[in-house]
Structure 1
């Protein structure tokens, strides 16, 4: 299907890229179908969660674990049931970013990760109860020259 996007103009999307959020996303409850798209043309750890219905609605996401190695997400029984999770590897966890200029001012929402069951093509944004996680963690990328 042809999809109008916020960041990439018109793109062709395969049905396997579509994710249904049965309850929508908090503050966007009427938005139920999104596509997961790569961010840019070069390989990188970032993705776009693009609304199928509203071209202007898109979230920049990343796999949080390379950037926050101690991050832990525990799914509630209701999330496990709703997404039909049988084992940990059924789901992929993303964090929504607030991208700023310059990029080193960007933040990650570790309090409200996006959980995607790619096999079932369903998703849900959850709210973690762990108070050490906030909605605006500084998102720092360590370059290879900084690793010793």
Structure 2
């Protein structure tokens, strides 16, 4: 299928790569289909692109690249909603806010994106029981609470 993207122009994608967000994303409840795209020349960051809306795209990364001890428990409702059967089904990414200079960019640790990579389901999970910031620094010299 053909899609228009915010950062990479028109692309041809395979429908089996589309990730279903049954509840949409907070603030975007009607956008339920996304795809993860590689950010050319950068193995650390990806693009979470809506397949319905060209301008709805987020830069994402694994929070573990920046915070190796980042940890939280998934609620049973998330496990059920995403049909997670084993730990290997799960991938976690966080939305990045890019700033100038890049050293001022932040990562959202409070609301990670949880994926069932086998079944292609996703959900943004707001952590109410853990004190992680929405705008955590992305420099290794800084720590968040709990690090």
Q: 1:69 maps to what in 2?
A: 68
Aligned residues between the structures: 141
C-alpha separation in 2, matches of 1:78 and 1:60? 26
SS of structure 2 residue aligned to 1:44: strand
The alignment status of 1:13 with 2:2, answered yes or no, reads no
C-alpha separation in 1, matches of 2:5 and 2:121? 20
Q: 2:144 maps to what in 1?
A: none
RMSD: 1.3
Instruction: Give the structure-1-normalised TM-score.
Output: 0.90
Q: 2:56 maps to what in 1?
A: 57
Kept after mapping to 2: 8 A contact 1:17/1:37:
no
SS of structure 1 residue aligned to 2:78: helix
Shift of 1:110: 0.2
Unmatched segments (≥5 aa) in structure 1: 143-148
After the TM superposition, which parts of structure 1 deviate over 4 Å for at least 4 consecutive aligned residues? none
C-alpha separation in 1, matches of 2:104 and 2:42? 22
Instruction: Give the structure-2-normalised TM-score.
Output: 0.91
**For residues 16 and 43 of structure 1, do their structure 2 counterparts lie closer, same or farther at Cα, with a shift above 3 Å needed?**
farther
The alignment status of 1:109 with 2:108, answered yes or no, reads yes
Q: 1:36 maps to what in 2?
A: 36
Kept after mapping to 1: 8 A contact 2:72/2:130:
no
Q: 2:145 maps to what in 1?
A: none
